[in-house]
Amino acid sequence: MTIKAFMDRFDPKHIKPNEPLKYYAYTKTGGPADVLAFPHTIDELQEMIRVANQLDLPFMTLGNSSNVIVSDKGIEGIVFMLRELNRVKVQGHLLSAEAGAKLVDVSRAACEAKLTGLEFACGIPGSVGGAIYMNAGAYGGEIKDLPLEVTVVTREGNLKTYTNEELEFSYRHSLVQENGDSVVRASFTLEEGQQAAIRGKMEELNALRQSKQPLDLPSCGSVFKRPKGHYTGQLIQEAGLQGFTIGGAQVSTKHAGFIVNINDATAADYLAVIHHVQSVIKEKYNVDLETEVRIIGRPMA
């Protein structure tokens, strides 16, 4: 009844009840959200959050769902998917992008405007909001390295703006992981550069990614954080775990830091492979592998 009360308040074209998240997650796994909502504006997201609070419904926000494993039992309450908040605007040296904009598209927009600084993000398969959330990085660059300002919607439904320093960035971490704010916009101050050089760097990084990563199969990207003093993929490879498979989830034979969906994998398959890899690496090398991927939703045990 409470779920229906939420749904009755909004455009039915922006709401999907009992919607399987495997249709949206990069792993192609995950059970249903009680309600999957697609706010089309920041104002609509604010109102949805306020109504969820009034009805005492749990809620969470997802971007491009590229670095998550969603429970086979789904997610309770409301899931706000921000893919419709995808506008990108460039004015002088300032690039502003809404949270649902893909990093690939944002880096291309920067290149078209002859602005440098976002080349490292050109192949990251996430959204701007997810990149802020986890301080995404690749090939020597991280979001925290850029001068930026981030607008969020708080858990109460209010707008708030943070500076780079206030976001408390660290390795694969930011303040919004702790306070539950929903990133809705980021503004990057970039430097003018030579378009040919910017494009060349992006092409170089994309070619490197294509050659090293299993982009032809569903995955959640890099599964584990890099442990101090080690390279995760190298540890897993040296432990002989490449190709290790449970159900439809397999440690990639192309890059050991990835777990790929080779045959209708479930979230349970993914978690079983993750736990096995962690156990073996701990036993062989006394190294604790911490997951970079977010594991979300109802408990499966």
CA distance readout (Å), 25 to 31, 43, 85, 145: 10, 25, 17, 28
Q: At 96, which amino acid appears?
A: S
Two tokens at 230? 């080690």
Taking each helix axis as running N to C, give the angle between helix 195-212 and helix 103-112, from 0 to 180 degrees, rounded to the nearest 10.
150
Q: Which residue has the tokens 């439809």?
A: 248
Q: Are strands 68-70 and 94-98 parallel, antiparallel or unpaired?
A: unpaired
Torsion sign across C-alpha atoms 205, 206, 210, 211 = negative
The catalytic residue positions are 172, 222, 292
Strands (E) across 112-270 are located at 115-116, 137-138, 141-142, 148-153, 159-163, 182-189, 191-192, 219-222, 245-246, 249-251, 258-261
8-state DSSP, 127 = B
